[in-house]
Amino acid sequence: MFQKISNILSIASFLLITSTLGASYFGYKYVQSPQFQKKIMDKVLGEVKGLLPNVLDKGLPDMTGPSMPIPLPKQELKF
């Protein structure tokens, strides 16, 4: 009786592990595919395009001030 239960559990464990490994492999291949990457980029760019006009209108000043002076390197004095 114990032997049958042990065999059934080992078969179930084997099926569970192989199905998990198979799903992980195909999931990894799908995530690395160019179609998936294009789909994600299209979604991200769609969201960013919706946000950009509002951010640029509020964030850019009408006029800027003078540029900052660039410090010149100090010259050594020779005697």
Give the C-alpha separation, 42 to 73, whole Å: 48
State both tokens at 32: 């690395």
In a domain, 48, yes or no: yes
In a domain, 68, yes or no: no
Output the DSSP codes for 3-25: HHHHHHHHHHHHHHHHHHHHHHH
Q: pTM (2 decimals)?
A: 0.48
- Could you give the C-alpha distances from 2 to 6, 40, 42, 74, in angstroms and in order? 6, 51, 56, 88
25-59 pLDDT, tens digit each: 999 999 999 999 999 999 988 887 777 666 656 66
4-33 pLDDT, tens digit each: 999 999 999 999 999 999 999 999 999 999
In a domain, 75, yes or no: no
Domain total in the chain: 1
In a domain, 53, yes or no: yes
In a domain, 67, yes or no: no
